[in-house]
Structure 1
């Protein structure tokens, strides 16, 4: 099943990428044609409408990341539609959605500004305003596209809100925590997808490029760099896969998923630096242009590593888990 799904998404993503060559920008424009193809195939709301689980969602968003897809599928399916269902709020049955997360004091009116909102102007925004003991949820109109994009070119913006208590649905604080966990997991999956693109491009480039009559990959230093690149990627994939299995077996709201996603966000985030550095070094100057797929992969990976919590924030959280466990070994190998 997942092999067929992967082949389908790969075909759709590849066609989208080929069609957009020469049309990338800062910010990257929303790919309406790709969205339509994915929506027609039932892939934009795979978990919420099609009954699929995290394993299938990982295939879709990972493959789309590999082709630098300019659509908010993770934001729509895993985050916004899920949050709307938890709050029993009505959202459009089709089209893209996004989420905005902000902290509020929870007294009186719910006011504030959510920053770094992904794809803020493509469709309705599901607000998750976090107080010390609650999550306030509301559906907001599309935000502004005037904000600076992330370093990967994806639109990011601010959404300001001022809502009365009757305009929001009050849910437990744990809902916002699961929302962030879902977002962090999705970014890990996307980063590994971008890593795969970077590795494929780097292996191809070093195998084809000749120097002193030999391909670059025959030089010992280049071979060592390629080995290091793949080692970082596979370590990241292992952590991401652990988090996916935890979500499949126990749900994103579980303690098991909490631990596994925390580990994945740290492991994957720490790999971003070496993977992107090695890939660009082995490509030379050709890899730094916006039209080269390497740039589209590596810069998105760098951006995603800081979203839904930075690597340092999650590393601190992992350390606190270890301290709270008493015996860190039990945390690592326990059930």
Structure 2
């Protein structure tokens, strides 16, 4: 049996070194990403999902999910999780693996879409008309959102090199976003609890106030819900079923807004300042919440799937989400 801690610990230590808040701010300000990317690429973790026969680790996605959470916990400003997914899909199809970071996008011909981390990607794996094409990340336009590394991009009709996976590229991206949200939410809970115990008002820490304690408890519950939903989305088959992806992203996206709001309410005005680390994570929670479908979008997909089944709700959940991998 795989020791997940043995896998996560070196990955976490690497991120602590190369993706410290100062390094994240530097990338957001337009700084060079080569050193950070070279460290990640040199670690070998980009091929975690690539089959062993193709030179990768061949890990199940359940083992990779904690790594994706760590990316969110450190606000990594590069498409590391996206590149893991892209390299696995390309390797399975026997396509040569590209160098550099790869973003993910789903777009109709001529349609402008917002691509998370598109400004720092070298390539984009685009799903169009049910097929995938790997294209250069040319023509990326900033969205105008302060600090965001997402890009607005569009493509004319592409010649897809391989079929899209079952459920489409969006389902794969959705479980990644859910894990990123879960990681950032965990980080915000720890930051907010620490601040509440340090910030004194009327001679005692504000964390002793009952109303604030209740808000922190609800915040922690939301973070745990996001983590469990993310783990559930990665626990079954790969690619994940539409129901698993919808459940993971719906729950995580809903938690994102509540966790961010409570973090800012407790920190007060200091939390929105550029000098404070809080906004590095809350900005990402809001961006990841919308990326690849918000909770409303995924709830509609989940509802449509539920209505096609004649089974009772308990049996439906057991069949779709509790089935062994």
TM-score by length of 1: 0.84
Shift of 1:190: 0.2
2-side partners of 1:264 and 1:119: how far apart?
21
Shift of 1:289: 2.0
Contact 1:152 1:303 in 2 (8 A): no
User: Is 1:316 aligned to 2:300, yes or no?
Assistant: yes
Shift of 1:152: 6.0
Which sections of structure 2, spanning at least 5 residues, go unmatched? 51-55
Shift of 1:208: 0.8
Which residue number in structure 2 is paired with residue 332 of structure 1? Answer: 317
User: Is 1:251 aligned to 2:238, yes or no?
Assistant: yes
Cα gap change, 1:202 to 1:30, in 2 (>3 Å): farther
1-side partners of 2:292 and 2:268: how far apart?
31
Which residue number in structure 2 is paired with residue 155 of structure 1? Answer: 150
Which residue number in structure 2 is paired with residue 280 of structure 1? Answer: 264
2-side partners of 1:328 and 1:13: how far apart?
41
SS in 2 for 1:153: coil
Contact 1:27 1:155 in 2 (8 A): no
Report which stretch shifted further, 257-266 or 26-35.
Answer: 26-35
Counterpart selection for 2:220 from 222, 227, 230: 230
User: Is 1:266 aligned to 2:262, yes or no?
Assistant: no
Which residue number in structure 2 is paired with residue 2 of structure 1? Answer: 4
| Alignment RMSD | 2.3
Contact 2:16 2:74 in 1 (8 A): yes
Which residue number in structure 2 is paired with residue 82 of structure 1? Answer: 88
How many matched pairs? 311
Which sections of structure 1, spanning at least 5 residues, go unmatched? 104-110
Cα gap change, 1:5 to 1:252, in 2 (>3 Å): same
Shift of 1:124: 2.2
Shift of 1:230: 0.6
1-side partners of 2:113 and 2:167: how far apart?
17
Shift of 1:176: 6.4
Shift of 1:31: 3.2
TM-score by length of 2: 0.87
Which residue number in structure 1 is paired with residue 122 of structure 2? Answer: 123
Which residue number in structure 2 is paired with residue 47 of structure 1? Answer: 49
Counterpart selection for 2:107 from 91, 102, 106: 102
Shift of 1:10: 2.0
Report which stretch shifted further, 181-190 or 30-39.
Answer: 30-39
Shift of 1:180: 1.3
Which residue number in structure 2 is paired with residue 169 of structure 1? Answer: 161
Cα gap change, 1:35 to 1:190, in 2 (>3 Å): same
